[in-house]
Amino acid sequence: MCGIAALHHPQTGPAATTGERMLAELAHRGPDDRAQLPVGAHAWLGHTRLSLVDLDGGRQPLTSADGWALVCNGEIYDHADLRAELGEHEFRTSSDSEAALVLLRRRGPAALTRLRGMWALCAAAPDGRFVAARDRLGIKPLYWAESGGVRYFASELRAFPAAVRPAVETFPPGCWWTPEDGLVRFADPMPDPAELPSWEGLAPEVVEKATREVLVDSVRRHLMADVEVGVFLSGGLDSSVVAAIAAAECAEAGTRLKTFAVGTADSPDLLAARAAAEHLGTEHHEAIFDARRAVAALDDVVASVESFDASLVRSAVPNWFLAELAAQHVKAVLTGEGADELFAGYGYYHRAHAEDLQDELARTLGALHGLNLQRCDRITMAHGLEARVPFLDTEVVAHAMSLPEELKALQGGVEKAHLRRAFTGRLPEELLWRRKAQFGTGSGAQDLLTPYWEQRVTPSELAATDAPVRTREELAYHRTFRRHLDGIRPEAVLTRFATA
């Protein structure tokens, strides 16, 4: 819902002008407001706001009577439950982010495990206490650097001063940092297996009902907003399930869901999305792109996604046009991100990891913050649009990872059969059982971009480069990356290198 920047200096106050320049680079993440606040002698907090909850009273930095202040990027979906638990008298606004501030003040950073949502935050007190933290999956971005004794924090790489960029690293998900304790892990991406339920001996229908109910609850929570929320609809299983639940919730509230699809003319995703939207009765909008538009957008796309990974860029290009379209109609959208990593939606899971499927699912889910989630966040926020990911809700992740491996194995050669059966009757059979197509492929982007660069970047150029790239296409994206983010070390901020 916004962009955050923060500075902490252990000796004297950081220069506010540095923070202001960092915040200016994040203006696209929060077009509705911008504010900053020095906190005591050691900290500075800045925030750019996309107003979604408590439009009038939720301006950040949020403050408390004892001088604590907080900036938070994201959404806390269980904030009403936390208000009831912590006491309404502790709150000054209706902002969901204030639940994080009150929780920190009352119980310390270890209590952040209570937050159900997607978030990255920085908080400070006048006496020098400071906390930076990020949700367990890293759904919302956060980077940090230490230079000359000053700690820098920001939502995007572009925000860091040029002199600091060589020191920038990814702030790890599920961790908090304080000057006293350093970096501390408070939550793992995966729940403790010992705390998960057992489905042994239960009928498949019982398990399918549980899967359906946990997803319905998550989508309902993710629709939380004081503005209209839409859905990115690719016509694939995951986004269609989200759209089906959201459409039913909207109909019950007397409204009509807005859905958004993208592709080249008559691409598979576009055609399937039209069929899903017609079945669900949504107000459907389409963005159509061609080679000319795709190539023209590449500079902005690579600069925004802050990566040169070819598969990530290819999928980001159609998302660029999709987000541009959706931002004209809504301020937030739900997506199907994460379902493949929970329910084994990719073919390689079954070809190469049939014997250790759960371990591979856990590994890829833990790496999402630097891959699909990075693309999802950056491309939407480049257009002042928030993307929400109901499949990655804490309770959904716990439920999915509790399911036995046999429910995630291929059944009749089809992936995610359990998830499909759980939503029988909610979608037409031809959509419910449509086979998986990666977004860059189904939208038509790969057919346009890969041949384009193979004609313009020579094999000899690829052979001569010392850039950490695998293909000619990737070399082209690396050149753009370097032009916009010179000084940033890929091995410190890109998942492909960090996990190698």
- Interval 50-59 mean pLDDT: 75
Q: Both 400 and 298 in a single domain?
A: yes
List 152's β-bridge partners, or say none: 7, 145
Residue 175: active-site member: no
Average pLDDT value for residue range 157-169? 98
Q: Rounded to whole angstroms, how far apart are CA atoms 381 and 54?
A: 19
Of the chain, the end-to-end C-alpha distance in Å amounts to 31
**Average of per-residue pLDDT across 256-285:** 93
Of 168, 185, 202, the position where a domain reaches its end is: 185
Given a cut of 90, is residue 344 above it in pLDDT?
A: yes
- The reported pLDDT for the residue numbered 500 is 39
Which domain range does residue 421 map to? 194-498
Last residue of a domain, one of 185, 210, 231: 185
| 341 neighbors 361 (Cβ within 8 angstroms) | yes
Percent of the chain's residues with pLDDT above 70? 96
354, pLDDT greater than 60: yes
In this structure, the answer to whether residues 174 and 208 fall within a common structural domain is no
Rounded CA gap, 41 and 36, in Å? 15
Same-domain pairing of 176 and 200: no
Specify whether 349 is located in the same domain as 265.
Answer: yes
Total domains present in the chain: 2
Verify that 42 and 143 share a domain, yes or no: yes
pLDDT at 310 exceeding the cut of 70: yes
Query: If 0-12 CB within 10 Å is exposed, 13-18 middle and 19+ buried, where does residue 380 land?
Result: buried
CATH number of the domain at 60, please: 3.60.20.10
pLDDT mean over 256-269: 91
Rg of the chain in Å (alpha carbons):
22
Q: How confident is the model at residue 443 (pLDDT cuts 50, 70, 90)?
A: low
| Residue 90: φ, ψ to 5° | -80, -15
Last residue of a domain, one of 185, 202, 232: 185
Which DSSP letter does residue 171 get?
P
Overall average pLDDT of the 294-321 stretch: 95
Residues 230 and 155 in one domain: no
Average pLDDT over residues 263-275: 89
User: Which position has the higher pLDDT, 431 or 209?
Assistant: 209
Q: Count CA within 13 A, CB hemisphere, residue 219.
A: 26
| Same domain as 172, residue 219 | no
Task: Verify that 74 and 207 share a domain, yes or no.
Answer: no
Residue 141: its pLDDT value, please? 98
Same domain, 263 and 366: yes
The pLDDT value given to residue 124:
97
| For range 237-247, the mean pLDDT | 97
Q: What is the mean pLDDT of residues 60-80?
A: 94
Same domain? 143 vs 161: yes
Is residue 283 helix, strand or coil?
strand
The residues that bridge with 76 in the sheet, in sequence order, are 117
- Residue 477: give its domain's CATH number: 3.40.50.620
Question: What pLDDT is attached to residue 407?
Answer: 94
Residue 499, pLDDT score: 43
Q: Which of 2, 122, 250, 376 is catalytic?
A: 2
* Same-domain check for residues 173 and 216: no
pLDDT tens per residue, range 171-183:
999 999 999 999 9
User: CA 312, 434, 380: angle at the middle one, nearest 5?
Assistant: 30
Residues 217, 353, single domain; the answer is yes
Q: Which two tokens stand for residue 5?
A: 């920047």
The structure's pTM equals 0.95
Q: Is the pLDDT reported for residue 442 higher than 80?
A: no
